[in-house]
Amino acid sequence: MNKDQVKGKAKEIGGKIQEEAGELVGSSEQRAKGIAKQSEGKVQKSVGDLKEAVKDTIDRGNR
């Protein structure tokens, strides 16, 4: 795993917590921020996944 994968997953989890907290207190603003943070985390994790795939492909080519 690389740092983008880890940070992305952490943002996803943090966003889900923020969304749920917003729902508990009735704050649509906090829910929206949480959903946005989850989306940001998913994108960052996907970037990390892509970096890993490229790295693995390069490593296989160098064997």
pLDDT, tens only, 7-37: 999 999 999 999 999 999 999 999 999 999 9
| Owner of token pair 């940001």 | 40
The 8-class DSSP code of residue 2 comes to: -
CA angle 35, 36, 38 (to 5 degrees): 65
Q: Residue 22 is part of which domain span?
A: 3-61
Report the domain count for the chain: 1
Structure confidence at residue 63 as a pLDDT band (50, 70, 90): confident
Q: Distances from the Cα of 35 to the Cαs of 1, 32, 48, 55, in angstroms?
A: 24, 5, 20, 30
pTM: 0.87
Tokens in use for 28?
A: 């649509």
| Helix (H/G/I), strand (E/B), else coil: 26 | coil
